[in-house]
Amino acid sequence: MPRFTLRLSATDDIPADEATSSFYWLPDQRSTFTRGFSPSLATLGSVPPLNVDVVRVALTAFAADRTVPRKGYGANWNRRQLELEVPVSDAAVWNGVADELAGVLGFLSGDRWSLSFIQQLELVETLTPDEISVTPQRVVLLSGGADSAIGGLYSRSLLATDQQHVLLSHYNNTMLAPIQRHIATELQRLIPGPSQEHVVVHLGRRSERIDGTSYPSESTTRSRSLLFLALGLAVASLHQVPLWIPENGFASINPPLGPERLGSLSTRTTHPKFLQDLAAVLTKVGAHAVIENPFAHVTKGEMYRRVVDLVGAEEASSFLSATHSCALTGQRAHGISSDRPCGVCFGCVLRRASFAASEVPDLSDYIAPSSDPAVQKWLDSKSVEQPVRNFIHRGVRARDLTTLSLPDDYRLRDVLDLCQRGIQELRSLYQ
């Protein structure tokens, strides 16, 4: 079982076995992680220690997720076993929920996790963060995708002119940063008045270990959403306000496109059970964990229509088309800019269907179809369009939803209605 330890200090002479099994969060160039963001989170402000701990756990999991390659592809992924040791402010409290938190992480990534915690002395930081002058109403996660952009727009529409919200963006792939900044600027233009802070965090695992050797690389980083949430909660904890994670309910529930996709290919980044269980564990240890999805019961197309109601069809088209929902990352290997969406992954298919269902013009510059045979072959190998067609034809029955681990407070008939509306939107793409 691969075992990794997060270390917040390092000697000059590090044994090879320690370098291989450790991640180092350091203030200098030897750090495993992107520089400029400290392990005390002092750049964000006086984050409560328990929420600092949450970020450390999430970042260690994210690094381990990227470092241990999966075996097999598609629906034949293996279930990895990963063990983490994390320094925290109160090891006794965290060890008391280690198994529960490991279960939450396992539900998210599809792996088996084992967590243990060690006591860490308080770090002394001299950084002075930028102070937020007005207590925000909420913190909104802004990933660069359409749903998060709509969340930011909807949040601004609820603010009085003397109120504000905070947008929290995280990126590891530098392609996302300008998209996130553009969306933040557009939100202020489209709904002027309320003030707004945009906190951008560049944080990820570097390609080389502390001894200069290269890390293995796994691209299916399911745990990134935990890191994103942890960073958002850290900012929300400064003001004890809710954290919004805007995502359409159909994608959150994510009914599998086929029986073979029940496990490995059924993503759970905003699944209601994951969010509820995570909040329950974090609340148990005393960390701030108020997480809300304002769109948990609506489809993506219905979210698009809400944008039309707020700013009009022409502005909605321009605003939504500038977001990025593509899940593929192999564009550069074919000489294509990494910010161009493929058009055939599930994120792109659902996006296209939402434009069609809402009758909002889609100005996105999709790669598919391509006149280049090599590019088209790559697109065909990644396309989910035929599975989506099969899914539309098959539909969803109430008994299918019993396999999705939905929370007890999600009424089956409401979830079934949501899925049927989502399928109808997908159908609009192929009429």
Secondary structure string (H, E, C) spanning 11-42: CCCCCHHHHHCEEECCCCCCCCECCCCCCCCC
pLDDT of residue 329: 84
Whether this prediction's pTM lies above 0.85 is answered by yes
Which residue has tokens 């660069």? Answer: 144
Q: Which of 348, 346, 381, 380 is nearest to 73 (CA)?
A: 381
- Please check whether residue 205 is in contact with residue 236, taking contact to mean a CB–CB distance below 8 angstroms: no
- What tokens does 206 get? 């570097």
pLDDT of residue 263: 38
Q: How far apart are CA 118 and CA 100, in angstroms?
A: 17
Q: Which of 39, 42, 43, 44 is nearest to 56 (CA)?
A: 39
Pick out the chain residues at pLDDT < 50: 75-76, 261-266
Q: How far apart are CA 248 and CA 236, in angstroms?
A: 22
* Terminal CA-CA length for the chain: 49
CATH-assigned architecture of domain 139-292: 3-Layer(aba) Sandwich (3.40)
- Please check whether residue 166 is in contact with residue 199, taking contact to mean a CB–CB distance below 8 angstroms: yes
Quick check: helix, strand or coil at residue 6? strand
Residues of the chain with CATH 3.40.50.620: 139-292
Quick check: helix, strand or coil at residue 3? strand
